[in-house]
Amino acid sequence: QSALTQPASVSGSPGQSITISCAGTSSDVGSYNRVSWYQHHPGKAPKLMIYEGSKRPSGVSNRFSGSKSGNTASLTISGLQAEDEADYYCCSYAGSSTWVFGGGTKLTVL
């Protein structure tokens, strides 16, 4: 199972919006609503931000949204804030009790 493809880094100024892409295949990202997104601050546990492609867990800001087109999923963060600076990972269930992560994207808030 190959890793999902994410850009290594993205950046934006406070208040702006950014989008992180996550490219996979028809067996993972493109298959139903299998994508989740995680925020990871160094030294802390990853945090679930989006599941089923576009749903937010309770307590996650509505500035975070997810979408999908074909075999590519996207995470959009609007109204960037300093505390959004972190690494972001997409993850997809790939069937047969197997998961695959993206390589991660470092978000810098300028």
Partner 1 sequence: QVQLVQSGAEVKKPGASVKVSCKASGYTFTSYGITWVRQAPGQGLEWMGWISTYNGNTNYAQKLQGRVTMTTDTSTTTAYMELRSLRSDDTAVYYCARIHDFLSGYPLDYWGQGTLVTVSS
Least CB distance from residue 12 to partner 1, whole Å?
Answer: 21
Token pair of 16 as six digits:
């702006």
Q: Which of 34, 75, 84, 109 binds partner 1 (CB under 8 A)?
A: 34
What is the distance in angstroms between the CA of the first residue and the CA of the last residue of the chain? 35
**Per-residue tokens: 11:** 């950046």
Give the length of the chain.
110
Shortest CB 43 distance to partner 1, Å: 8
Q: DSSP 3-state assignment of 82?
A: helix
Asked if residue 40 binds partner 1 (CB under 8 A), the reply is: yes
- Cβ neighbors of 44 (< 8 A, separation 6 or more) are none
32 belongs to the binding site for partner 1 (CB under 8 A): yes
Is 21 a binding residue for partner 1 by CB under 8 A? The answer is no
> Which residue of 80, 100, 107, 109 would you call a contact of partner 1, by CB under 8 A?
100
Positive or negative: CA dihedral 6, 7, 9, 15: negative
Q: Which is nearer to partner 1, 12 or 104 (CB)?
A: 104
The footprint of partner 1 (CB under 8 A) covers: 1, 3, 32-36, 38, 40, 45-48, 51-53, 57, 87, 89, 91-93, 96-104
